[in-house]
Structure 1
Amino acid sequence: MTSFSTPVFAAAKTDSAFDDLTASLGDVRPHPTEDALVHLGRALMTELVDVICGTALEDFQVLLGEALIGAFHSAAGRIERDADRARDAMRALDRDFDGSEAADTELQEATSRARAGDVATRAAELIRDAASEAWTVATGEVWTAWRGSRRGTHLTAAQLEAKQAIRAIRSRRAGEADPGGPVIAFRGAPAADSAEDAGRIFDALNWAKAEWPDMALATTGAKGSEKLAIKWAQQKGVKLILARADFDAHGKAAPFRANDELIALEPEVCLTLAHSVAEERMDHRPFGPALNLGQKAMENGLRHLSIKARAA
């Protein structure tokens, strides 16, 4: 097994891209600053956790916290769809433009709606990601979008659906758009969430990032070790690809169908952690889906590395 170095997380660099975007609108009304929106997202989540912690509602803390973050994620999506409709109107008006004052006014209004929608979408994303960051700090839980892809801000990396990434890879073969850097796949046991496990997972992922600096991390987002891997990706600003297990469609075979999607991404290497490296958990049965991913990797001629405990 390759020797992995100890991870050191760097703080995310902030910028004023949002403030520059709002200044370009020319709206006489002021916009909240990027810092103010980030503060709002953190304050909302901190207030929720403070009110719930230690009460009977604590049993529902995860659901309530994810619902708050998800509300801003949903709002961002709805606003973005409205902006896209305004852009469709812009294209139609531009195509049929007759030079009249009425047509010119209509085109300007559609343009303003699209640009304002882009700013509002970004604002909702900033609040969402700040709330998500505060949620992880306060509870250790990691939030991922329930469905669909998610554009990242400076607080979090982008998140893609596996099916979308697979389509992009096939398009690349056809000479179309390149979806980005190399993919690193990871599957791990839900029970492998100890401090020792986290250290080995981070070591492995840090090694992968050193080998492929522009890597994307692909996983299913299952609880335990895969949530730890997602947390690493968010802290490192690494693009995340989620191949979620669809139990409604595939039943008990869902975790293995998700592995098929991971393999279809043609990862540079498949990392697996079949059971915890913590001594007190060594007697747990190996995690079948992780073993299955390793087997499928070898069957498809892909590189596979099994994460193990450090040598004594």
Structure 2
Amino acid sequence: MTELLDAVTDTALEDVQTILAEALIGAFHSAAGRIERDADKARDRMRVLDRDFDGSEAADVELQEATARARSGDAAMQAVEMIREAASETWTVASGEVWTAWRGSRRGTFLSAAQIEARLAIRAIREERTGSSHPGGPVVAFRGAPTADSPEDAGRIFDALNWALKAWPDMALATTGAKGAEKLAIKWSRQKGVKLVLARADFDTHGKAAPFRANDELLALEPTCCLTLVKSLDATRAGHDRPFGPAMNLGQKAVEAGLRHLPIRARAA
């Protein structure tokens, strides 16, 4: 990652370095997923061989080979995940931006905060299952304006999330991962080791309604509290910064559903 950034700096590619960096990280994420699927196939083969084991030497050898393939796949997957996280961390340090997987979940093996898909978390809650896709504790939902990325916004977002973490130490943070305020919240979750649930807006399926459908996913997680920041708290932006509709929508729906809603505001003078 460092060599990539060094290579494109001060060149025509500098304007697209975000695309290149995220593509590099995404390549390792995709590779980890493929390796994991291969390891899962080996485990499925192990179960079949174990179920049909007849005690013969040939069956024993075949079972041992399948076991070795599964263990080797798991080790390779963890190694690739470690590379992915190192590249992601290097990109964050270099640019201040955070990378989130567009598809799939990221386990917490090498992460300060695990990331899971909202749909999987919703299903786990409804089916009352435990496991890697269950948030594991109370959920705090957050939506914020893309323009709310000033130092004052960051300070107030972190204040609100620190308050929530103190109130619910085993909380999970749920957001859509949109730029601006929500990217700041994701940074906070990584720093604090708080599990992250992402309900991404699916524009391909829902078009302009996607941000509001994402709100429905957030509410389906049955959050203990909903935090919103509808516009930047930076005084220099107050005159031209319009309230962010999806954040307002989440707050309204939370109140209608009888959920606790707390808007983030500027510090009192």
What interval of TM-score do these two structures reach, taking the shorter chain for normalisation?
over 0.9
* Contact 2:141/2:227 (8 A) holds in 1: yes
Q: Does 1:100 align with 2:67?
A: no
What does 1:1-312 correspond to in 2, within 5 Å?
45-172=1-128, 176-177=129-130, 179=134, 180-283=136-239, 284-312=241-269
* Contact 1:183/1:265 (8 A) holds in 2: yes
Q: Any unmatched runs of 5+ in structure 1?
A: 1-44
**How many Å apart are 1:304 and its aligned residue?**
0.3
* Identity across matched positions, percent: 77
Task: Measure, in 2, the Cα distance between the counterparts of 1:181 and 1:154.
Answer: 21
Q: Any unmatched runs of 5+ in structure 2?
A: none
**How many Å apart are 1:308 and its aligned residue?**
0.7
**How many Å apart are 1:282 and its aligned residue?**
1.3
Letter in 2 for 1:59: D
* Contact 1:157/1:234 (8 A) holds in 2: yes
**How many Å apart are 1:293 and its aligned residue?**
0.3
Letter in 2 for 1:190: P
Which residue in 2 is equivalent to 1:10?
A: none
**How many Å apart are 1:55 and its aligned residue?**
1.6
Which residue in 2 is equivalent to 1:24?
A: none
* Contact 1:133/1:155 (8 A) holds in 2: no
* Contact 1:187/1:220 (8 A) holds in 2: yes
Task: Measure, in 1, the Cα distance between the counterparts of 2:85 and 2:91.
Answer: 10
**How many Å apart are 1:219 and its aligned residue?**
0.4
* Contact 1:166/1:265 (8 A) holds in 2: yes
Q: How many residue pairs get matched?
A: 265
Task: Measure, in 1, the Cα distance between the counterparts of 2:31 and 2:192.
Answer: 26
- Which gives a bigger RCO, structure 1 or 2 (Cα 8 Å, sep 6+)? 1
| SS of aligned partner of 2:265 | coil
**How many Å apart are 1:49 and its aligned residue?**
1.3
**What do residues 154-176 of structure 1 show as CA deviations (whole Å, max 9, x unaligned)?**
4432111111000011011xxx4
Letter in 1 for 2:200: R
**What do residues 109-148 of structure 1 show as CA deviations (whole Å, max 9, x unaligned)?**
0000001111100001111011101100100111000111
Task: Measure, in 2, the Cα distance between the counterparts of 1:48 and 1:214.
Answer: 38
Task: Measure, in 1, the Cα distance between the counterparts of 2:247 and 2:10.
Answer: 36
Task: Measure, in 2, the Cα distance between the counterparts of 1:131 and 1:117.
Answer: 21
* Contact 1:185/1:267 (8 A) holds in 2: yes
Moved over 4 A (4+): none
* Contact 2:81/2:110 (8 A) holds in 1: no
**How many Å apart are 1:227 and its aligned residue?**
0.6
**What do residues 77-124 of structure 1 show as CA deviations (whole Å, max 9, x unaligned)?**
111100000000000000000111000000000000001111100001
RMSD between aligned residues: 1.0
| SS of aligned partner of 1:241 | strand
Task: Measure, in 1, the Cα distance between the counterparts of 2:193 and 2:85.
Answer: 12
| SS of aligned partner of 1:254 | helix
**What do residues 7-56 of structure 1 show as CA deviations (whole Å, max 9, x unaligned)?**
xxxxxxxxxxxxxxxxxxxxxxxxxxxxxxxxxxxxxx111112212221
Range 149-158 or range 301-310, more displaced: 149-158
Task: Measure, in 2, the Cα distance between the counterparts of 1:192 and 1:115.
Answer: 46
Task: Measure, in 2, the Cα distance between the counterparts of 1:310 and 1:46.
Answer: 39
Query: Under a length normalisation based on structure 1, what TM-score does the superposition of the two structures give?
Result: 0.83
Task: Measure, in 2, the Cα distance between the counterparts of 1:198 and 1:107.
Answer: 54
